[in-house]
């Protein structure tokens, strides 16, 4: 049985800050943001928006564009790290909003939970719902997986230029029109880590930036090793002499905290996969230096980061590798299109990789590339930490869906905030109803908390016509 993503819909808030304004305000060279990080615009939520209404807006779009009724949906999972309640799941808020449109009780027959594991939980939600359908537990109904997040960092921190907000809703069905997941190869890795975390009550995360970057690379590589073993063992991919498994993956979509991280993840993976192959000799010749090895190759991430001599020469090698024709050919053909949305929106945590998938489909199609039967390899990462690597194949009916994708049109007219306006929103200094934009044909938050103590934390949303 083929199961996978039948269609997807996105929601991106219309407020943003521009990288040039941001760079000027923080005294950073704008080229660092544009090229070193890869950001041009960071999407921001208005005072009357939260992660639940972004999720509901993405889901409503998905339902409307596919003429879906609540009866067609058996499960709704929301994956997020921008939770609104320690107990009440985000999908309950989303269902409450959708029932304003579809009628009270219209989702009563369905089920679902909120999932948490930093940015990777959406991938676990997809995997679990795919298997719910494969196991034929679904009573002919579809599952909806929504990934929705607000990436918010402290003002003045290095994470501040990797902020963003948005949601992606995905329809999971049998015989999907867009992408069928390969079965029996999804691979995970998990370890207790403190690279990035947000203790209870804190609105912004605590981040060990460089540690988190290296951990991301290592964890995805480990999950990829396991994927490779399964793909070969199950016969999904057959390697000939001198081939790398990356030769059999046509397109890549990876977690994107920022655009440059995707480029680095591909470089790390290719180095790992290619260094034992004959092609490596040519690459080393082109680079003109041998690949550095840490003093203690079996050391910890801390010991590798502390090995200054290795880190410096490895950075030099990595940059040179990313200039080679071999890297650039793979990057342009297999990854570049997935990074376009990241530069225009910023980090979306759980939704980043799926906005990347959306971007990949749209911009590859616009390049005129034939996508049918192409295999996409996914590298999902969540701090804390876990990685999941899996793959899927683009289905013949993809054209009908992808030809209408237009990121800029779907985001709509955007409003740039000045740095002062941004900081005011960031510090929660504006009243909930004192929003910059009123919203149109979407759900917005109108009230938090009732008049009595037992209604604390009640959230009221309205659909604006
Ligand atoms: N022109 C062009 N490039 C420039 C430049 C200039 N004038 N000045 C600097 N740069 C480049 C640097 O050379 C560097 O490029 P390379 O990576 O190729 O070396 C790049 O800009 C970034 O600069 P720094 O190395 O100085 O990094 P930073 O101090 O700005 O921090 C960061 C970057 C660690 C990602 C920080 O933004 C951060 O902490 N972000 C939040 C954590 C994060 O996103 N971690 C990612 C992995 S964890 C994860 O993925 C989960 C998640 O979603 C959070």
Question: Has residue 451 got a pLDDT over 90?
Answer: no
- Residues 351, 122: contact at Cβ < 8 Å? yes
Question: How far is ligand 1, taken at its centre, from the CA of residue 37, in Å?
Answer: 6
Q: Is the CB of 213 under 6 A from ligand 1?
A: yes
Q: Which of 156, 193, 209 to mutate to test the pocket of ligand 1 (most atoms within 8 A of CB)?
A: 209
Q: Can you tell me which atom of ligand 1 is nearest the CA of 153?
A: 41
Nearest CA to ligand 1 atom 7: 32
Q: Is the CB of 202 under 6 A from ligand 1?
A: no
pLDDT tens sequence across 33-46: 999 999 999 999 99
Q: Is the CB of 48 under 6 A from ligand 1?
A: no
Sign of CA dihedral 373, 374, 380, 386: positive
The predicted model gives 332-336 an average pLDDT of: 98
Q: Exposed e or buried b for every residue in 140-177, given b needs 16+ CB within 10 A?
A: ebbbbbbbbbbbbbeeeeebbbbbbbbbbbbbbbbebb
Q: Is the CB of 158 under 6 A from ligand 1?
A: yes
Question: How far is ligand 1, taken at its centre, from the CA of residue 260, in Å?
Answer: 8
- Predicted local distance difference test score (pLDDT) of residue 233: 98
The predicted model gives 157-171 an average pLDDT of: 98
- Residues 184, 233: contact at Cβ < 8 Å? no
Q: Is the CB of 64 under 6 A from ligand 1?
A: no
Calpha distance 436→93 (Å, rounded): 23
Nearest CA to ligand 1 atom 5: 32
Calpha distance 174→6 (Å, rounded): 8
Query: Largest alpha-carbon pair distance within the chain?
Result: 72
- Residues 339, 257: contact at Cβ < 8 Å? no
pLDDT tens sequence across 279-291: 999 999 999 999 9
For 78, list phi and psi in degrees, rounded to 5. Answer: -120, 120
- Predicted local distance difference test score (pLDDT) of residue 8: 98
In percent, how much of the chain has pLDDT > 70? Answer: 100
Q: Which of 24, 37, 323, 351 to mutate to test the pocket of ligand 1 (most atoms within 8 A of CB)?
A: 37
Q: Is the CB of 383 under 6 A from ligand 1?
A: yes
**This prediction's pTM:** 0.97
User: What is the C-alpha end-to-end distance of the chain, expressed in Å?
Assistant: 40
- Predicted local distance difference test score (pLDDT) of residue 297: 84
In percent, how much of the chain has pLDDT > 90? Answer: 97
- Predicted local distance difference test score (pLDDT) of residue 413: 95
Residue partners of 232: CB distance under 8 A and separation at least 6:
238, 239, 245
Among 22, 48, 13, residue whose Cα is nearest residue 422: 22
Per-residue three-class SS string for the chain: CCEEEEEEEEECCCEEEEHHHHHHHHCCCHHHHHHHHCCCEEEECCCCCCHHHHHHHHHHHHHHHCCCCHHHEEEEEEECCCCCCCCCCHHHHHHHHHHHHHCCCCCCCCECCEECECECHHHHHHHHHHHHHHCCCCCCCEEEEEEEEEECCCCCCHHHHHCEEEEEEEEEEECCCCEEECCCCCEEEECCCCCEECCCCCCCCEECHHHHHHHHHHHHHHHHHHHHHHHHHCCCCCCCCCCCHHHHCCEEEECCCCHHHHHHHHHHHHHHHHCCCCHHHHHHHHHCCCCCCCCCCCCCHHHHHHCHHHHHHHHHHHHHHCCCHHHHHHHHHHHHHHHHHHHHHCCCHHHHHHHHHHHHHHHHHHCCCCCCCCEEEEEEEECCCEEEEEEEEECCCHHHHHCCCCHHHHHCCCEECCHHHHHHHHCCCCCCCCCCCCCCCEEEEEEECCCCHHHCCCEEEEEEC
CB atoms within 10 A of CB 345: 28
Nearest CA to ligand 1 atom 34: 209
Question: How far is ligand 1, taken at its centre, from the CA of residue 30, in Å?
Answer: 13
The predicted model gives 16-32 an average pLDDT of: 98
Q: Is the CB of 246 under 6 A from ligand 1?
A: no
The predicted model gives 420-443 an average pLDDT of: 96
- Predicted local distance difference test score (pLDDT) of residue 52: 98
Question: Has residue 398 got a pLDDT over 90?
Answer: yes
Question: How far is ligand 1, taken at its centre, from the CA of residue 352, in Å?
Answer: 17
**With bands split at pLDDT 50, 70 and 90, how would you rate the model's confidence at 383?**
very high
- Residues 228, 186: contact at Cβ < 8 Å? no
The predicted model gives 354-366 an average pLDDT of: 98
Question: Has residue 229 got a pLDDT over 90?
Answer: yes
pLDDT tens sequence across 81-108: 999 999 999 999 999 999 999 999 999 9
Question: Has residue 175 got a pLDDT over 90?
Answer: yes
Question: How far is ligand 1, taken at its centre, from the CA of residue 36, in Å?
Answer: 7
Q: Can you tell me which atom of ligand 1 is nearest the CA of 261?
A: 46
Calpha distance 238→236 (Å, rounded): 7
CB atoms within 10 A of CB 62: 23
Q: Can you tell me which atom of ligand 1 is nearest the CA of 257?
A: 53
The CA–CA distances, whole Å, from 277 to 171, 188, 252, 265, 290 equal: 40, 26, 21, 19, 15
Among 5, 95, 1, residue whose Cα is nearest residue 395: 5
The CA–CA distances, whole Å, from 341 to 7, 143, 284 equal: 18, 25, 33
The predicted model gives 124-153 an average pLDDT of: 98
Q: Is the CB of 323 under 6 A from ligand 1?
A: no
Question: How far is ligand 1, taken at its centre, from the CA of residue 279, in Å?
Answer: 30
- Residues 195, 117: contact at Cβ < 8 Å? no
Question: Has residue 298 got a pLDDT over 90?
Answer: no
Question: How far is ligand 1, taken at its centre, from the CA of residue 320, in Å?
Answer: 18
- Predicted local distance difference test score (pLDDT) of residue 243: 97
**With bands split at pLDDT 50, 70 and 90, how would you rate the model's confidence at 453?**
confident
Q: Which of 204, 257, 260, 355 to mutate to test the pocket of ligand 1 (most atoms within 8 A of CB)?
A: 257
- Residues 162, 151: contact at Cβ < 8 Å? yes
Average confidence score pLDDT of the chain: 97
Calpha distance 129→6 (Å, rounded): 13
- Residues 118, 349: contact at Cβ < 8 Å? yes
Q: Can you tell me which atom of ligand 1 is nearest the CA of 195?
A: 48
CA angle 346, 352, 353 (to 5 degrees): 140
Residue 44 pairs in a beta bridge with 15
Calpha distance 112→125 (Å, rounded): 10
Nearest CA to ligand 1 atom 11: 36
């Amino acid at each position: 049985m083929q199961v996978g993503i039948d269609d997807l819909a996105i929601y991106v808030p219309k407020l943003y800050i521009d990288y040039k304004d941001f760079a000027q305000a923080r005294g950073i060279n704008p080229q660092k943001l544009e090229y070193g990080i890869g950001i041009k615009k960071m999407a921001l939520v208005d005072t009357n928006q939260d992660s639940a209404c972004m999720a509901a807006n993405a889901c409503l779009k998905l339902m409307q564009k596919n003429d879906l009724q609540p009866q067609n949906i058996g499960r709704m999972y929301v994956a997020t790290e921008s939770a609104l309640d320690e107990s009440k799941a985000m999908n309950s808020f989303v269902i409450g909003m959708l029932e304003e449109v579809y009628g009270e009780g219209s989702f009563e027959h369905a089920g679902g939970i909120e999932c948490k594991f930093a940015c990777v939980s959406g991938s676990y939600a997809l995997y679990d719902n795919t298997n719910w359908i494969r196991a034929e537990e679904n009573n002919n109904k579809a599952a909806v997986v929504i990934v929705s997040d607000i990436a918010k960092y402290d003002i003045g921190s290095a994470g501040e230029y990797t902020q963003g907000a948005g949601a992606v809703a995905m329809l999971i069905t049998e015989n999907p029109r867009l992408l069928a997941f390969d079965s029996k190869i999804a691979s995970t890795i998990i370890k207790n880590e403190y690279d990035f975390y947000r203790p209870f009550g804190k609105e912004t995360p605590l981040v060990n930036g460089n540690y988190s970057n290296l951990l991301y690379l290592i964890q995805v590589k480990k999950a990829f090793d396991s994927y490779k073993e399964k793909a070969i063992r199950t016969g999904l991919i057959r390697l000939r002499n001198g081939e790398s498994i990356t030769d059999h993956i046509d397109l890549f979509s990876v977690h994107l905290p920022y655009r440059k991280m995707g480029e680095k993840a591909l470089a790390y993976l290719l180095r790992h996969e290619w260094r034992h192959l004959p092609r490596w000799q040519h690459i080393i010749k082109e680079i003109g230096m041998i690949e550095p090895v840490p003093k203690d190759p079996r050391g910890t991430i801390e010991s590798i980061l502390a090995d200054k001599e290795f880190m410096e020469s490895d950075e030099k090698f990595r940059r040179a590798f990313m200039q080679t024709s071999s890297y650039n050919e793979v990057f342009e053909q297999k990854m570049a299109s997935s990074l376009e949305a990241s530069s225009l929106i910023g980090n979306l945590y759980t939704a980043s990789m799926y906005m990347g998938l959306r971007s990949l489909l749209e911009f590859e199609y616009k390049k005129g590339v034939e996508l049918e039967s192409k295999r996409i390899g996914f590298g999902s990462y969540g701090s804390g930490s876990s990685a999941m690597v899996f793959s899927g194949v683009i289905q013949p009916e993809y054209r009908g869906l992808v030809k209408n994708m237009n990121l800029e049109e779907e985001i709509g007219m955007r409003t740039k905030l000045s740095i002062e306006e941004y900081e005011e929103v960031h510090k929660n200094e504006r009243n909930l109803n004192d929003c910059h934009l009123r919203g149109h044909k979407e759900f917005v938050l109108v009230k938090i908390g009732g008049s009595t103590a037992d209604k604390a934390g009640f959230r009221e949303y309205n659909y604006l016509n």
